[in-house]
A and B are shown apart, each in its own frame.
Chain A
Amino acid sequence: MKTNLLPYLKMISFGFLRNSIGMSMILFLGLFLGSCGDPSEISDELLDGKVIFDPSLLNPESYLTSLRHPNPTAEEASRPVFILCHGYSASTFEWSEFIDWSEDTDAYFTSRVLLGGHGRSYSDFKSAKWEDWQQAIFDEYEALLDAGYTNLHLVGSSTGGALILEAIAAGYFRDKIPPKSVFMVDPIVLPSDKILPLIGVLGPLVGYTESENTEGEKNYWYTFRPYKTLQELQEVIKKVRLDLQKGIELPAGTYLTVYKSTQDPSADPASAVLIYQGVSPKSQMNIHMVNSSLHVFTRLKYREDPVSAQDWLNQEQTFEEMVEIALSR
């Protein structure tokens, strides 16, 4: 899951110290990696290939409440709807454990949104902009409002959280019924890999990065990440960071809860600090620092390392609290 560009930068930065030898190394690196625009072969067992797609593309009514219940009764329209948004390079699978945990409850509905450009082939992923990723959230939000649902709750993991913050900052909810609550699990504002901001320079040299996914993850997360998508990621998180610096005001009646792992190899825990500093009013916000070293700690299936009792407890407590908050609003 972790992308690491550091080795490339280390080679380059040490190159500066070695003058002409270093420059030759950089040139060689550029020529060598410059030829690696895309992966030469993508296996069919990967999400990146042309065989495996996110199942929500084939059967969207199983994933989206707006399609599953397009004509809600007055009682149904007032029930909470969780709009679950996954992160960069992931798929609807990221929130499947919340669905399983909910066990066909009648207390609330769930909509699992597949971000634009995701869950499809490598080339579809490569060509999508961050605005495309975000548009899928807007499409379901507006479809639910059009159908008459009024009790909406946005849930974003990782980049999903950043996309929701960007929407709030851009005033997307100003002329709409705003969400009653927003939940973020390990939202990314600062990447843990601090070389990401250099992707515009290093990206054309490396072409793409390869993630170390487990066998299970390979069906649900992209293994190959084109540098253009990393540039999009960098662009949206930079925009959110600058928005937070200026200040982001929550819509009246929207309550924000942020859950952030204290150690996270993808989204730096300091992301929660930036959100705390940048979002107002503070009375509508709550931050939980969670004792975990997992990125998106609510997803435990197909992890590389054995899942601990603490991990299960974190997941359970977070799901319970999200539901409790949504039902109380």
Chain B
Amino acid sequence: MMIRTTLKYLALCLGLLLFLHPEESYAQQYHVDLGLRSQKAFGLYFENGIVAQFSSDSIAPKRLYLGIGFISSRLGSALGSNAIKQDNYQIWLAYYLKKDHQLRPFFSLGTGYFKADYESPDFKVLDQRSPLLSVTAGLEWASPYQVKVNLALGYNIISGNGEKGPGTLYPTFAQLNFFYPLR
């Protein structure tokens, strides 16, 4: 079940990438930013990973972005420590204001899938997986070197509360993203 869900998400990501593949005829229509994300849950882990954002000249140009990403504590707090290994498959829609400014506020609505690995069979009774639903708001700085840096605060609407949901899925978080425009 878990593998099937993971494959479903990967297939979706691949499909999006293929769809947005930089064919000549679409050269002016689509933009792809590739980047790195560092996410810190307030009170818990650093989770790091890769992200990509897509936008189109035909739909709210330079304003509306579709993003996908994978972040994990395996690339953060769990690296060389006993922290819980947990993965987040994220997909979001971001809307940027003041599109031609160097400093652009944005907000986004995201969803996805969260999976923690509690390792021992003793913990099978606990929720280790959850859908993700989040809102974030932040500021993006377009540096003179093409790289865009954005910092956001977010809130996971679905999170653990001791009675249901994974206990290591925290509601409040901060994100630091670096995006490089591929095209």
Q: Is A245 an interface residue (CB 8 A)?
A: yes
Among B125, B137, B167, residue most surrounded by chain A Cβ atoms (within 10 Å): B167
A269-B162 contact given A9-B172, A17-B107, A198-B172, CB 8 Å threshold: yes
- Nearest B residue to A267 by beta-carbon distance? B162
CA A279 to CA B170, docked complex, whole Å? 23
- Indicate which residue in B42, B44, B126, B155 contacts A269 across the interface (CB closer than 8 Å): B126
Chain B residues whose CB sits within 8 angstroms of the CB of A9 once the complex forms? 171-172
Q: Is B24 an interface residue (CB 8 A)?
A: no
CA A235 to CA B169, docked complex, whole Å? 20
Chain A residues whose CB sits within 8 angstroms of the CB of B84 once the complex forms? 270, 273-274, 277
Chain B 101-141, CB-CB to A under 8 Å as 1, else 0, gives 00000010000000000111011011000000001010000
Binds A, one of B3-11, B47-55, B75-83: B75-83
Chain B residues whose CB sits within 8 angstroms of the CB of A238 once the complex forms? 43
Residues from 268 to 313 in A contacting B, C-beta threshold 8 Å: 268-274, 276-278, 287, 289, 293
Chain A residues whose CB sits within 8 angstroms of the CB of B82 once the complex forms? 244-247, 274, 277-278
Cβ B160 vs Cβ A246 within 8 A: no
Q: Is B13 an interface residue (CB 8 A)?
A: no
Cβ A197 vs Cβ B137 within 8 A: no
Among B43, B83, B164, residue most surrounded by chain A Cβ atoms (within 10 Å): B43
Q: Is A16 an interface residue (CB 8 A)?
A: yes
Q: Is B150 an interface residue (CB 8 A)?
A: no
SS of B interface (majority): loop
Chain A 13-51, CB-CB to B under 8 Å as 1, else 0, gives 100110000000000000000000000000000000000
Q: Is B88 an interface residue (CB 8 A)?
A: no
Q: Is B67 an interface residue (CB 8 A)?
A: no
Q: Is B100 an interface residue (CB 8 A)?
A: no
- Indicate which residue in B42, B119, B123, B168 contacts A289 across the interface (CB closer than 8 Å): B123
Cβ A263 vs Cβ B81 within 8 A: no
Cβ A194 vs Cβ B122 within 8 A: no
Q: Is B39 an interface residue (CB 8 A)?
A: no
Q: Is B166 an interface residue (CB 8 A)?
A: yes
Q: Is B153 an interface residue (CB 8 A)?
A: yes
Cβ A273 vs Cβ B123 within 8 A: yes
Cβ A264 vs Cβ B120 within 8 A: no
Chain A residues whose CB sits within 8 angstroms of the CB of B120 once the complex forms? 273, 276, 287
Q: Is B159 an interface residue (CB 8 A)?
A: yes
Cβ B161 vs Cβ A192 within 8 A: yes
A268-B137 contact given A273-B84, A277-B119, CB 8 Å threshold: no
Chain A residues whose CB sits within 8 angstroms of the CB of B83 once the complex forms? 245, 277
Q: How far is the CB of B116 from chain A (nearest CB, A)?
A: 8
- Nearest A residue to B163 by beta-carbon distance? A263
- Indicate which residue in A247, A278, A289 contacts B126 across the interface (CB closer than 8 Å): A289
A196-B77 contact given A16-B137, A190-B167, CB 8 Å threshold: no
Chain B residues whose CB sits within 8 angstroms of the CB of A195 once the complex forms? 171-172
CA A265 to CA B167, docked complex, whole Å? 11
Cβ B42 vs Cβ A197 within 8 A: yes
Cβ B81 vs Cβ A246 within 8 A: yes
A-B pairs with the 9 shortest C-beta distances? A192-B162, A197-B43, A270-B167, A268-B167, A278-B82, A245-B81, A277-B82, A268-B162, A263-B163
Please give the residue numbers on chain A whose beta carbons come within 8 Å of chain B beta carbons, in ascending order.
9, 13, 16-17, 190-198, 234, 238, 244-247, 262-274, 276-278, 287, 289, 293
